[in-house]
């Protein structure tokens, strides 16, 4: 009698586990997620609506796309440096991808309490390692930004000859993710580890890199000691954030 009950219990548990595995690994859900990323100088609150598809034979790889909205906050005295790689590296075209930035080519814009709202189209790629655990990476692809105009202090020059000027700045209106310093606007990318709480709920934790960009109203224009013409309205900040995300299948 006892052996019979034990056998039935084991069969039920086995069937439940198999059903759980099938639903988690193989289905292609629509999901929503809420994320919070932070460090000492910046925070990002993100909301996403994603449609995912599984692929390959074992259906453990998943790709998801959809819109992601974010509210990005900066603390006091945020540093924004010269953005265009053609200026920071002194190179143009493909040569700028393989060149390091030079401090002589970079000016700094200081801003307080920045606030940027973004709406980007994002991509997420994940691999289901087991019934519960997954690894994933995500990135914004393109979109738009909104935010109020700010008063900032632009510090510029090199070779011991420095000047400063107060200027107004607004968030870049369009966003486009490109490799590293070639990105435009405000975009976010990162990776993390996910844990399936139930069939429909998952929690993730990881690291994200947030790029935010402001355009100044009155750009400076001068030739520095490296004979580079420094003349741009674009200034960018890069923040490495840690955070958590909670998602639910619909």
pLDDT in tens, 145-198: 999 999 999 999 887 788 999 999 999 999 999 987 899 999 999 999 999 999
Query: How many separate domains does the chain show?
Result: 1
Cα separation, 93 vs 96, whole angstroms? 6
In percent, the amount of the chain with pLDDT more than 70 equals: 86
The number of beta carbons lying within 10 Å of the beta carbon of residue 184 is: 19
- 11 within some domain: no
Write out the H or E segment, with its range, that includes residue 23. helix 2-26
Report the pLDDT averaged over residues 123-148. Answer: 96
E strands, the chain, in order: 30-38, 42-55, 61-74, 78-82, 108-111, 115-128, 133-146, 150-158, 161-171, 174-176, 187-196, 201-216, 222-223, 229-230, 234-249
Residue 96 in this model has a pLDDT that exceeds 80: no
Residue 86 in this model has a pLDDT that exceeds 50: yes
* Distance set, CA 144 to CA 57, 101, 111, 199 (Å): 37, 27, 21, 34
Cα separation, 210 vs 238, whole angstroms? 6
- What six digits make up the tokens of 149? 């105009």
- 162 within some domain: yes
- 210 within some domain: yes
Cα separation, 134 vs 196, whole angstroms? 8
Q: Dihedral of CA 55/56/58/63: which sign?
A: negative
- 14 within some domain: no
Q: Domain range spanning residue 169?
A: 29-249
- 150 within some domain: yes
Cα separation, 239 vs 209, whole angstroms? 6
- 103 within some domain: yes
- 19 within some domain: no
- 22 within some domain: no
Q: Higher-confidence residue: 20 or 63? A: 63
CB 44 within 8 A of CB 206: no
Q: Which residues have C-beta within 8 Å of that of residue 160, sequence separation ≥ 6?
A: none
- What six digits make up the tokens of 96? 């700028």
Q: Quote the pTM value.
A: 0.85
* Helix intervals (H) in 49-138: 85-88
């Amino acid at each position: 009698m006892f052996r019979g009950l034990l056998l039935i219990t084991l069969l039920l548990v086995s069937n439940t586990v198999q059903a759980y595995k099938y639903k988690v690994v193989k289905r292609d859900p629509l999901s929503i997620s809420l994320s919070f990323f932070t460090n000492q100088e910046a925070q990002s609150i993100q909301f996403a609506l994603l449609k995912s598809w599984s692929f390959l034979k074992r259906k453990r790889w998943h790709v998801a796309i959809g819109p992601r909205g974010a509210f990005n906050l900066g603390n006091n005295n945020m540093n924004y440096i010269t953005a265009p790689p053609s200026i920071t590296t002194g190179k143009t075209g493909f040569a700028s991808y393989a060149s390091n930035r030079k401090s002589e080519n970079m000016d700094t814009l200081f801003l307080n309490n920045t606030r940027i709202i973004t709406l980007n189209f994002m991509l997420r790629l994940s691999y289901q390692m087991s019934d519960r655990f997954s690894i994933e990476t995500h990135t914004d692809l393109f979109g738009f930004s909104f935010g109020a105009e700010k008063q900032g202090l632009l510090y510029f020059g090199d070779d011991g000859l420095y000047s400063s000027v107060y200027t107004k700045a607004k968030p870049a209106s369009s966003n486009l993710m490109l490799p590293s310093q070639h990105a435009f606007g405000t975009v976010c990318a990162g990776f993390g580890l996910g844990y399936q709480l139930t069939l429909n709920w998952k929690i993730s934790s990881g690291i994200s890199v947030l790029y935010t960009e402001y355009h100044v109203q009155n750009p400076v224009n001068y030739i520095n000691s490296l004979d580079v013409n420094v003349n741009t309205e674009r200034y960018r900040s890069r923040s490495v954030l840690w955070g958590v995300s909670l998602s639910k299948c619909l």
